[in-house]
């Protein structure tokens, strides 16, 4: 059984090695339909938090719960099925476009593949490929633009239909028109899920329900964009600076 998508951190301390704490006393609460953004300078602990949501490492102190259940008590395969990850550079393999999307759900039908591609806004460019969904991608999708690769990553995540999503936004610039297409696909993908974003774009940060500002492994501010702007603290500095 999958989790529903309530994610809670209670006073979480963590370090990759004994004696070097990287996250201090992290608390957060997220539920389906909410988007939580992590911002902060390099090394602040953004990726580390998402590593813990994935249970890639055991925590040193505190609790992480899914739907009230301690993360350590959840079966690995249930956790894997419940979490979708869209990374800056999603790996595409040598195979057809359809196979690359189906990787998110191996028993998906052709109809499901097309539905996911449509949701992701990928159907348009796929239709224009010489062989459509049967076009072969070689060399890690090297023949596709960066934006097109992102659309396939969104389609792959959509077909798996996970309640919890982790997004590591791309930093590299794609043109404005493509970005709008990617953003629309992403917005559709996020709908109704619990979403954690490592945000690099101001637009994404701004429309998050909660923005968590990290500094040296601590959450130093949290709130909506408007809350944090009014607070005139670190986020305000980042935003106006």
* Contact footprint for Mg ion (CB under 5 A): 46-47
Q: Determine, following the binding rule CB under 6 A, whether residue 93 of this chain makes contact with ligand DCP.
A: no
Least distance from ligand DCP to the Cβ atom of residue 58, Å? 14
Q: Determine, following the binding rule CB under 6 A, whether residue 45 of this chain makes contact with ligand DCP.
A: yes
* CB nearer Mg ion, residue 136 or residue 220: 220
Q: Which does 109 bind (CB under 5 to 8 A by kind): Mg ion, ligand DCP, none?
A: none
Q: Which does 165 bind (CB under 5 to 8 A by kind): ligand DCP, Mg ion, none?
A: none
Sign of the CA dihedral 27, 1, 85, 176? negative
Q: Which does 16 bind (CB under 5 to 8 A by kind): Mg ion, ligand DCP, none?
A: ligand DCP
Least distance from Mg ion to the Cβ atom of residue 47, Å? 3
Least distance from ligand DCP to the Cβ atom of residue 109, Å? 37
Least distance from ligand DCP to the Cβ atom of residue 8, Å? 20
* CB nearer ligand DCP, residue 13 or residue 99: 13
Measured distance CA(153)–CA(111) in Å, rounded: 18
Q: Determine, following the binding rule CB under 6 A, whether residue 77 of this chain makes contact with ligand DCP.
A: no
Sign of the CA dihedral 134, 123, 54, 138? positive
* Alpha-carbon dihedral 57, 62, 64, 65, rounded to 10 degrees: 150
Beta-strand ranges (E) seen in 40-144 are: 61-66, 69-70, 83-86, 95-96, 136-137
Vertex 181: Cα angle to 178 and 185 (nearest 5): 140
Sign of the CA dihedral 50, 47, 195, 206? positive
Least distance from ligand DCP to the Cβ atom of residue 44, Å? 4
For residues 218 and 28, the answer to whether their CB atoms sit within 8 Å is no
Give the residues lining the site for ligand DCP (CB under 6 A): 16, 22, 40, 42-48
């Amino acid at each position: 059984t999958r989790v529903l998508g309530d994610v809670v951190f209670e006073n979480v301390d963590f370090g990759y090695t004994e004696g070097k704490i990287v996250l201090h006393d992290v608390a957060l609460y997220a539920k389906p339909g909410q988007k939580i953004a992590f911002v902060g300078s390099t090394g602040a602990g953004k990726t580390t938090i998402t590593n813990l949501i994935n249970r890639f490492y055991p925590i040193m102190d505190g609790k992480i719960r899914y739907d009230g259940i301690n993360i350590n008590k959840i079966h690995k395969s249930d956790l894997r099925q419940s979490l979708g990850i869209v990374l800056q550079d999603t790996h595409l393999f040598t195979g057809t476009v359809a196979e690359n999307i189906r990787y998110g759900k191996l028993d998906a039908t052709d109809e499901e593949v097309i539905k996911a591609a449509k949701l992701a806004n990928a159907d348009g460019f796929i239709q224009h490929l010489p062989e459509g969904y049967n076009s072969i991608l070689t060399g890690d999708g090297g023949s596709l633009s960066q934006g097109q690769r992102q659309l396939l990553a969104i389609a792959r995540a959509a077909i798996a239909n996970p309640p919890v999503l982790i997004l590591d936004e791309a930093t590299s610039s794609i043109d404005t028109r493509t970005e709008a297409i990617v953003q629309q696909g992403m917005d559709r993908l996020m709908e109704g899920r619990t979403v954690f974003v490592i945000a690099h774009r101001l637009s994404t940060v701004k429309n998050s329900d909660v923005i968590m500002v990290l500094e040296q492994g601590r959450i130093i501010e949290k709130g909506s964009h408007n809350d944090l702007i009014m607070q005139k603290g670190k986020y305000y500095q980042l935003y106006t600076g």
